[in-house]
């Protein structure tokens, strides 16, 4: 590995639960779960300790079911500030080794250690790193070591908790290819059945699949996945990537200054749709939202709100935006409206503290939005307008 890049992927083990155990050592060795609405039996498990997982407790499982499997399960509410503080401390440690650290979520990141490793073996360094994080933060982690980001990510998942795994390109056929396709990083949960339908049951099947057949059945993106399955990935470790999307928003100057609340609400709905489409195209969710109002006399006011759960749908954006609008609108004529989202996070790392019913509703809503977006892409934005009424400014 000396001539190739040396990339680490460090992934904290059962991060939220482990932070709670570090905060309260009496929980060590006990089955612990973090859940939204823990006081309600219909709350949903966000994550759990390995002791709980050994009893069958899984993410998105309702609390009542988890407690049936594990009667002595200790269920705690999420403590976002505690997790953020632990994450900050973790990445301060990682940046002490190299400036080339790319955070990809609150509890995982890549490190490019190619130039650092001159006098120490990668596995030895990983052991020292793991021991330091355990000693200073009292938190366990797994580390994958490979010549690129994809293989490092796959390696870190192979041995948990407290694992260190080296995955070289020459090891791909033996270590990577036998794995089921659903274990491959980049394969969406909802597409697994489609891959299997066409005979792609393992990562090796994808690696050896015909290129033209892949394009026809899965689109151009499948070729990139095929390259990954063959161990090819030239992406750099980018220290700035986590904060790449600072904000996404839209504003509009109204044709005439207006106090018509129905028209203003309709305008906010249009802005929410545009913001939703941009978030969706970038595959990010927002953890903050801001509303901007400019009045007839050019006075401008803004109000923002940090959200408990990341959002992306038009309905969620509209709800939050209109709540902020009602709080700051002084009933004077409005000249400009704006809706923007900030504190963005990649879709795959966004999580929600959902109860059983909203979790199912979220899946239904996502499928509906997917269908509506396909119609708009094919026939234009006006092909589908849910609940549209004739408002001030409508021509037809």
- Positions marked catalytic: 108
Q: Is 157 flagged in the annotation as binding?
A: no
Q: Please state whether 125 falls in left (phi above 0), alpha (psi between -120 and 50) or beta.
A: alpha
* Sheet bearing 7-12, strands edge to edge: 101-105, 108-112, 7-12, 141-146, 164-166
Q: Is 11 flagged in the annotation as binding?
A: yes
What span, in angstroms and rounded, lies between the C-alpha atoms of 221 and 378? Answer: 20
CB-based contact 336:250 (threshold 8 Å): no
Angle between helices 314-328 and 261-282 in degrees, nearest 10? 140
> Residue 229, Cβ neighbours under 10 Å: how many?
27
Measured in whole angstroms, the distance separating CA 331 from the mean position of its chain's CA atoms is 38
The tokens for 249 are 């928003």
CB-based contact 94:109 (threshold 8 Å): yes
- Taking the CA atoms of 336, 337, 342 and 346 in sequence, report the sign of the dihedral they define: negative
Give CA angle at 35 (136, 276), nearest 5°. 100
The tokens for 321 are 């935006």
What span, in angstroms and rounded, lies between the C-alpha atoms of 316 and 339? Answer: 12
What span, in angstroms and rounded, lies between the C-alpha atoms of 6 and 298? Answer: 55
Among 102, 126, 227, residue whose Cα is nearest residue 172: 227
CB-based contact 335:299 (threshold 8 Å): no
Backbone dihedral angles phi then psi of residue 116, each to the nearest 5 degrees:
-75, -35
What span, in angstroms and rounded, lies between the C-alpha atoms of 52 and 36? Answer: 17
The separation between the first and the last C-alpha atoms of the chain, rounded to the nearest angstrom, is 67
Among 286, 347, 350, 349, residue whose Cα is nearest residue 318: 286
Binding residue ranges: 11, 107
Q: Residues at the annotated binding site for Mg(2+)?
A: 11, 107
């Amino acid at each position: 590995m000396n001539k190739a890049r040396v990339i680490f992927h460090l992934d904290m083990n059962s991060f939220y639960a482990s932070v709670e155990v570090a905060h309260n050592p009496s929980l060590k060795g006990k089955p612990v779960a973090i859940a939204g609405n823990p006081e309600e039996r219909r709350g949903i498990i966000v994550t759990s300790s390995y002791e709980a997982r050994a009893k069958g407790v899984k993410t998105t499982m309702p609390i009542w079911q988890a407690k049936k499997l594990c009667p002595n399960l200790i269920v705690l509410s999420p403590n976002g500030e505690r997790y953020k503080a632990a994450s900050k401390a973790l990445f301060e440690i990682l940046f002490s080794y190299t400036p080339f650290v790319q955070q990809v979520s609150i509890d995982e990141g890549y490190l490019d250690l190619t130039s650092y490793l001159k006098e120490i073996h990668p596995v030895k360094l990983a052991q020292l790193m793991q021991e330091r994080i355990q000693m200073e933060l009292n938190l366990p982690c797994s580390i994958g070591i490979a010549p690129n980001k994809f293989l490092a990510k796959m390696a870190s998942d192979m041995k948990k908790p407290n694992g260190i795994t080296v995955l070289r390109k020459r090891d791909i056929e033996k270590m990577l290819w036998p794995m089921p396709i659903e274990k491959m990083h980049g394969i969406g949960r909802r597409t697994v059945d489609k891959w299997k339908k066409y005979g792609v049951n393992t990562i090796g099947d994808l690696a050896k699949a015909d290129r033209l057949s892949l394009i026809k059945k899965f689109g151009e993106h499948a070729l990139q996945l095929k390259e990954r399955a063959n161990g090819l990935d030239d992406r750099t470790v980018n220290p700035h990537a986590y904060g790449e999307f600072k904000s996404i928003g839209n504003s509009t100057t109204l044709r005439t200054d207006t106090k018509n609340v129905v028209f203003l609400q309709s305008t906010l709905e249009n802005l929410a749709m545009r913001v939703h489409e941009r978030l969706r195209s970038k595959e990010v969710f927002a953890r903050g939202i801001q509303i901007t109002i400019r009045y007839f006399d050019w006075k401008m006011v803004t109000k923002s709100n940090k959200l408990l759960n990341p959002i992306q749908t038009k309905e969620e954006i509209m709800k939050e935006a209109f709540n902020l609008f009602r709080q700051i609108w002084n009933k004077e004529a409005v000249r400009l409206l704006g809706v923007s989202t900030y504190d963005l996070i990649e879709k795959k790392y966004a999580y929600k503290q959902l109860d059983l019913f909203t979790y199912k509703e979220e899946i239904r809503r996502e499928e509906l939005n997917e269908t509506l977006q396909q119609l708009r892409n094919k026939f234009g934005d006006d092909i589908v307008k849910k609940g549209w009424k004739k408002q001030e400014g409508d021509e037809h």
